[in-house]
Amino acid sequence: MNTYASRSDVPEGEKWKLEDLYPSIEAWEADVQEIGHMAEGLKKYDGNIHNGQTLLSYLSKNEKVSFLFNKVAAYAMLQVDIDTRDSFAQSLQDRTKQLGVKLSAATSFFMPFLLNLEEATLKKYIDEEEGLNYFERDLFEAYRYKAHVLTKEKEEVISQLGEALSSPSHTYSMINNADIKFGDVTNEDGEKVELTRGMYSKLIENKDRDKRREAYKAYYQPYVQLKNSIASTLAAAVKNNVTIARIRNYPSALEKALFSDFVPKEVYENLIATTKEHLAPMHRYSQIRKEMLGVEELRQFDLSVPLVEGVEQDICFEQAYATMLKALSPLGEEYTRTLESFKDARYIDVRETPGKRTGAYNLGVYGVHPFVLLNHHDDLNSLFTLVHEMGHAMHSHFSHKTQPQITAKYSIFVAEVASTVNEVLLIHYLLEQVNDEKMRKYLLNHFIDKFKGTLFTQVMFAEFEKITHEKAENGQPLNANVFSEIYESLFREYNGDGVVFDDEVKYGWSRIPHFYRPFYVYKYATGFASAIHLADRILKGDQETLASYLEFLKSGSSAYPLELLKKTGVDLTSPEPIQNALKQFGELVEEFAK
């Protein structure tokens, strides 16, 4: 595997070409100045929009400034992520943030102005000024929020409370990222060292059970010690969600969270109910795991260790890219040809280097192209990560190429569909290619664990959020004991009686940062189920599904997420897509059991 001591050692072809955004720092600087002037100009529209002409003028300038701002912010972010220690890059990002604050202050008058405007008046403006047709859907979308937007004075009060309302999340983040000290574990030389998160993710997959147990205990130690402090931040976050939903006249915190995507709460409830009807294969998988590991009692620290050993493959980046193109060939020539071009055009930053941001992501920049960050390790996991992120990148590419700026960005609700369809096609391709029985088992195990983490675990989290918010809405207390009771009973229900509980299990809620973004995790599960459904059809050669899926990739946010998915044949208002995915999970477990 290639490890690089410095960025200058990485081949040019494996680094981003940031010149595609700005040829020089001077060009970036010029746009920053321009945005500052434009923000001043936008402010002058406050109180001065009286007809279709001035409304169009404001909206057009606002769109232009947001186009520039996205470019400026992307450049700063990518520079920081190349080396998070670089103080010059950090200064670019700080300036972008200040610019963002200036922009949102300059345009904050617009939403209250629009909602005070009679719909008949807005229609008149649109009839007068042809150019307003372009903005029509967005303008009327704002009226959906009318019942939930308060008076100008109350809105100002809420916006001033913004920092206070986000403090539970901020406090948790400080506890979780800065202050937590994990317990000690024994290293290779038999010395005691403090556990880190990076070490934990490796040790919890270690073949040596004592090492797993030691890492598990050390990892949970601070969460158990701090359970009351963390419970108070989580309880405050939940109560804040409930209070704001009430002030804004939503029936519940859940419905407030689903409102922007126009998703009825039945979709959320149906996801939980359908998953719970299909828990038997999950319980069966726990049994298989217990037998294969040869343990008398299966415990939580046994749930992440791979069940098949000795099949680690070396897959260099060139080979990974070639494999991806073959695996995705069912998506047609336009898709694979476009994807092939991304590599030489240097849309991807491939290698891990000192100071580079960890993980992987895709950032689509409208009017330029997608930028993909990887930390490629020449192994199977890196191949899956590549295929996943390139799914997002292709979604950005097609939507940006086909849609005007106003509808080019896709919603988070549909984001995971494009990445997961690619992963499903990859696993099918790899299983078809493999002759070695052991490798086949390894791939099945990999996919079953992915399925479990993306669907079952996220649905369990979604149910935890639903129960805790309902308790707050009914004025019931929320504290460490309440959270632990709910979490433990859900964990038992989802994982089955095959797992023997250590005391730590019930504190799982205390280590999940997603709980501070209310009702977000369910989108992983709906996206995953939708993707399984689509990939299945595409692999069976269903041309109609393929055509509608490629159309979906080009749709951005031109309709609400559920509508976009419906056009591909996935109807999340019915239990069918979830049932199909869960049925496939059962089949995978059965095949693995054989």
SS3 label, residue 362: strand
Question: Could you count the other beta carbons within 10 Å of the beta carbon of residue 41?
Answer: 15
Which two structure tokens, joined as six digits, stand for 132? 């307003």
Q: What is the DSSP track for 287-342?
A: HHHHHHHT-SSB-GGGSSS-SS-S------HHHHHHHHHHHTGGG-HHHHHHHHHH
Catalytic residue set: 389
Instruction: Please name which of 216, 177, 160, 201 lies closest in space to residue 516, comparing C-alpha atoms.
Output: 177
**Helix (H) or strand (E) run with residue 348 in it:** strand 348-349
Q: Which residues have CB under 8 Å from 180's CB, separation 6+? A: 222, 223, 226
Chain mean position to CA 423:
15
Q: What is the DSSP track for 183-211?
A: -EEE-TTS-EEE--HHHHHHHTT-S-HHH
Q: Which residues have CB under 8 Å from 366's CB, separation 6+? A: 67, 70, 400, 405, 408, 409
Query: Which amino acid, residue 563?
Result: E
Give the Cα separation of 495 and 298 in Å (integer).
Answer: 11
498 contacts 298 by C-beta, under 8 angstroms: yes
475 contacts 226 by C-beta, under 8 angstroms: no
**Helix (H) or strand (E) run with residue 373 in it:** strand 370-373
Using CA atoms in the order 388, 392, 394, 399, what is the torsion angle rounded to 10 degrees? 160
3-state helix, strand, coil in the chain (%, to 5): 70, 5, 25
Location of structure tokens 């590991």: 293
Q: Which residues have CB under 8 Å from 154's CB, separation 6+? A: none
Q: Which residues have CB under 8 Å from 44's CB, separation 6+? A: none
Query: Which amino acid, residue 370?
Result: P
Sheet strands side by side (includes 361-364): 348-349, 370-373, 361-364
Chain mean position to CA 267:
19
444 contacts 478 by C-beta, under 8 angstroms: no
Report the residue count for the chain: 594
Location of structure tokens 């295929």: 387
- How far the first Cα of the chain sits from its last, in Å, is 34
Give the Cα separation of 310 and 348 in Å (integer).
Answer: 30
